[in-house]
């Protein structure tokens, strides 16, 4: 039995490394954006930022967007979603147009409801492109220019960048790179960027959309209640024939700080069970799969007799090698990959926590509100 388990876990890592779009290489990024052809004319862009109680970062975020070197016309609108900390005033002081958000209607998630109100405040037909970005996302001065360059040069109707997450506290250094690693494992960017593949990925912190194609696909209404709104929008666009591009970047950075494990747990637990479609059978399947892929290798290597131990050690080594490129992106040593089984175990617990919260009626908790399905 142990020998069979060793063969299964080694085979699982062979499939992940050789047959899942090369996700582990972490090399689908926007470093080439500056070399892409510029459009003959720069389209007008509307930047929309949903914000609720984001006083700590909103002024810096708005100022960075206002300072974009974009050659065309663009506007920055912040939807103040019932903030109690002066977010709206700070955004206005930094130069943004501020829309005061109202109560969340049934069936809408908080972020998408805020974006809906921002879209309704835009002039019809004026902006060719929409940039949805978050109140904790800091854009480099050339961010908008490079997004549009890729969209126009490669005929993409959606371009999204996975922001470089903050990785400074001990909890962030251990858990944040794994978050991006697991996301790419679920949604290999190379597959998402291939029009022939069904996979559709996006990162909601930086999501550029062709307005006409987005509205033709139905806009926000078809995904109104989705917690994982970015990937839901990407799937919607791809179903309607849009060409997508999603990649890693250092040009866009998250200012969100996670000082401890509890804060990262809350971030993951908000969406983990939704990722599984709120399906208990998929939850059990995920637990079994993660156990086989991440937990079995070190247990076999350390506790099983030969040759099962050797197979476990080989699978563990493959895990470390696969994780190394992501650790390098975050300036961390590859030796941390040895602890990936423990990190994966923590994410398993976060996912169980997410399911328990949903069963108790507190699923999708964000900013003090739970999404009622």
Look at phi and psi of residue 62 and say left if phi exceeds 0, alpha if psi is from -120 to 50, else beta.
Answer: alpha
pLDDT at 372 over 80: no
The band of 321, judged by pLDDT with boundaries at 50, 70 and 90, is very high
DSSP string, 260-307: SHHHHHHHHHTTHHHHTTT-HHHHHHHHHHHIIIIIHHHHHHHHSPTT
Contact in structure between 305 and 5 (CB atoms under 8 Å):
no
Q: Are 118 and 48 in contact (CB under 8 A)?
A: yes
106 CB burial (10 A radius; 0-12, 13-18, 19+): exposed
SS3 79: strand
Distance of CA 108 to the CA centre of its chain: 20
Asked whether the beta carbons of 158 and 244 are under 8 A apart, the reply is yes
Cβ count within 10 A of residue 23: 24
Q: What is the pLDDT of residue 368?
A: 59
pLDDT at 291 over 80: yes
The model carries a pTM of: 0.93
- Average pLDDT (283-289) is 93
CA dist 290 and 22 (Å) reads 19
| Residue 365 in this model has a pLDDT that exceeds 60 | no
pLDDT in tens, 20-70: 999 999 999 999 999 999 999 999 999 999 999 999 999 999 999 999 999
Fold type of domain 36-262:
Spore Coat Polysaccharide Biosynthesis Protein SpsA; Chain A (3.90.550)
Q: What pLDDT score was predicted for residue 6?
A: 94
Q: What count of other Cβ atoms lies within 10 Å of the Cβ of residue 210?
A: 22
Closest by CA to 354, choosing from 233, 286, 266, is 266
- Domain assignments of the chain as residue spans, ordered by start: 2-23+268-359, 36-262
The pLDDT-based confidence of 363 (bands split at 50, 70, 90) is: low
Enter the tokens of residue 5.
């388990």
**Strands 74-80, 129-133: pairing kind:** unpaired
Percentage of residues of the chain with pLDDT beyond 70 = 97
Q: Which two tokens stand for residue 13?
A: 């890592």
Give the whole-angstrom CA distance, residue 296 versus residue 303. 10
- Looking at per-residue confidence, does 227 or 243 come out higher? 243
Q: Tell me the pLDDT tens digit for each residue of 245-283.
A: 999 999 999 999 999 999 999 989 888 888 888 899 999
361: pLDDT strictly greater than 80: no
| Average pLDDT for 212-218 | 96
Strand 206-210 versus strand 129-133 pairing type: antiparallel
Using CB atoms within 10 Å of the CB of residue 125, give its burial: 0 to 12 exposed, 13 to 18 middle, 19+ buried. exposed
Cα–Cα distance for residue pair 248/163, rounded to 1 Å: 7
Over residues 326-330, mean pLDDT: 97
Bridge partners (DSSP) of residue 206 are 133
Report d(CA 7, CA 310) in Å as an integer: 10
Q: What rounded mean pLDDT belongs to the chain?
A: 94
CA distance 122 to 48: 10
DSSP string covering 343-358, please? HHHHHHHHHHHHHHHH
What mean pLDDT comes out for the span 318-346?
Answer: 97
HSE, CB side, 13 Å, CA atoms: give it for residue 288. Answer: 8
Q: What is the pLDDT of residues 86-140, one digit of tens each?
A: 999 999 999 999 999 998 898 898 899 999 999 999 988 789 999 999 999 999 9
| Nearest one of 200, 254, 270 to 231, comparing CA atoms | 200
């Amino acid at each position: 039995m142990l020998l069979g388990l060793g063969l299964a876990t080694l085979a699982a890592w062979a499939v992940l490394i050789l047959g899942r779009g090369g996700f582990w290489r972490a090399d689908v990024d926007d470093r080439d954006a500056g070399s892409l052809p510029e459009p003959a004319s720069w389209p007008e862009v509307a930047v929309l930022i949903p914000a609720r109680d984001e006083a700590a970062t909103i002024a810096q975020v708005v100022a960075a967007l206002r300072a974009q070197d974009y050659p065309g016309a663009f506007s920055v609108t912040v939807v103040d979603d019932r903030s109690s900390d002066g977010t709206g005033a700070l955004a206005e002081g930094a130069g943004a147009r501020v829309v005061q958000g109202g109560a969340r209607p049934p069936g809408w998630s908080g972020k998408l409801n805020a974006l809906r109100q921002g879209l309704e405040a835009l002039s019809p037909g004026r902006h060719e492109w929409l940039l949805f970005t978050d109140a904790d996302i800091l854009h480099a001065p050339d961010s908008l220019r490079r997004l549009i360059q890729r969209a126009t040069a490669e005929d993409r109707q959606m371009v999204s960048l996975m922001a470089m997450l903050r990785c400074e506290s001990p909890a962030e250094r251990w858990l944040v790179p794994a978050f991006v690693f697991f996301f790419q494992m679920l949604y290999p960017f190379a597959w998402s960027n291939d029009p022939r593949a069904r996979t559709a990925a996006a990162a909601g912190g930086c999501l550029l959309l062709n307005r006409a194609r987005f509205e033709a696909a139905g806009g926000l209404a078809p995904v109104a209640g989705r917690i994982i709104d970015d990937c839901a929008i990407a799937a919607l666009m791809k179903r309607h024939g849009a060409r997508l591009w999603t990649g890693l970047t250092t040009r866009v950075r998250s200012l969100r700080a996670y000082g401890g494990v509890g804060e990262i747990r809350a971030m993951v637990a908000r969406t983990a069970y939704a990722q599984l479609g709120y399906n208990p059978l998929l939850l059990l399947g995920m637990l079994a799969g993660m156990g086989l892929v991440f937990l079995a290798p070190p247990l076999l290597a350390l506790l099983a007799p030969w040759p099962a131990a050797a197979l476990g050690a080989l699978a563990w080594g493959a895990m470390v090698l696969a994780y190394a490129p992501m650790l390098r992106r975050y300036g961390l040593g590859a030796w941390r990959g040895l602890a990936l089984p423990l990190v994966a175990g923590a994410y398993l617990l976060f996912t169980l926590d997410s399911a328990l919260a949903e069963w108790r009626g507190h699923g999708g908790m964000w900013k003090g509100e739970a999404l009622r399905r």
